[in-house]
Amino acid sequence: MGNQVILIEHPLIQHKLTLMRKAETSTVKFRVLLKEIGMLLGYEVTRDLPLKHEKIQTPLASMNAPILAPEKKLVIVSIQRAGQGILDGMLELMPSARVGHIGLYRDPKTLIPVEYYFKVPHDIEKRDVLVVDPMLATGNSAVAAVERVKSTNPLSIKFVCLLAAPEGIEHFIEVHPDVSIYTAAIDEKLDEHGYILPGMGDAGDRLFGTR
């Protein structure tokens, strides 16, 4: 399947995203908003989860009711640090999802990602994966993370972010034409330090109060 960029324009997400962008938004509020948006993004990106039917008994009658196919439990792979905010929201919505972590930091000079941690469920090859990170900036971290996740052979991968820069999307699509990008906004461009403009600043710093 070809790569798709899916813009999630739900009004609640757009509203919360605007609040997150504001420079005056506190760490506490930023954290709450990112978790809420994580939940809403989780709702949007799981629209295609397969259902099966199960015979159940309501207080009045029996019926064939849809439930999620249990063997299709997702893995949410969070790119540290800022991916944690989206992960928290998604787990609120899907508490039985499995979780993976990938630790990458951007070398401040080269902007190249360096991996320092990687842990995913042992049976990831039987599962669908959502790789989450609020910011798709240069695309370097997202590309590296997805490459690493691909090496574990999951059933499928989606990349989920809040903000994307056109440069990052282009880079990502070039390397991973088979992975869809879900984003709440596509901003104008990157600045000379690899930050998204107008963006929201450093998502990790704003989430953890390390500014």
Q: Is 135 annotated as a binding residue?
A: yes
DSSP state of 184: S
Pairing of strands 98-106, 113-119: antiparallel
Residues 43-82 that bind ligand URA (CB under 6 A): 82
Q: Can you name the residues that pair with 103 across neighbouring β-strands?
A: 80, 117
The binder of ligand URA chosen from 105, 118, 195, 208 (CB under 6 A)? 195
Which entry of 47, 58, 110, 211 is annotated as an active-site residue? 110
Does 153 count as an annotated binding residue?
no
Question: Helices (H) and strands (E) in the chain — how many of each?
Answer: 6, 14
- Residue 202 annotated as binding? yes
Is 88 marked active-site?
Answer: no
Q: Which of 34-42, 59-67, 178-186, 194-202 is the region at the interface with ligand URA (rule: CB under 6 A)? A: 194-202
> Which DSSP letter does residue 103 get?
E
Candidates 66-74, 93-101, 107-115, 189-197; binding stretch for ligand URA (CB under 6 A): 189-197
Contact (CB, 8 A) for 37 and 162: yes
State how far the Cα of 101 lies from the Cα of 129, in Å rounded to an integer: 12
Residue whose CB is less far from ligand URA, 15 or 193: 193
The minimum distance between CB 61 and ligand URA, in angstroms, equals 52
Question: In the complex, what is the shortest distance from the CB of residue 174 to ligand URA, in angstroms, rounded to a whole number?
Answer: 19
Mask: binding to ligand URA, 101-140, rule CB under 6 A, as x and -?
----------------------------------x-x---
Residue 47 labelled as part of a binding site: no
The residue written with tokens 């938004």 in the block is 25
Give the distance, in angstroms, between the CA of residue 130 and the centroid of all CA atoms in the same chain: 6
134 is in an annotated binding site: yes
Structure tokens belonging to residue 143: 């590309």
205 is catalytic: yes
Reduced to 3 states (helix: H, G, I; strand: E, B; else coil), residue 95 is coil
Coil, helix or strand at residue 1: coil
Should residue 143 be labelled a site residue for ligand URA when binding is judged by CB under 6 A?
no
DSSP 96-119: T-EEEEEEEEE-TTT--EEEEEEE
Residue (of 99, 94, 79) closest to 39 by Cα position: 94
State yes or no: residue 199 binds ligand URA (CB under 6 A): yes
**Contact set with ligand URA (CB under 6 A):** 82, 135, 137, 194-196, 199, 202-204
Annotated binding site for 5-phospho-alpha-D-ribose 1-diphosphate: 81, 106, 133-141, 202
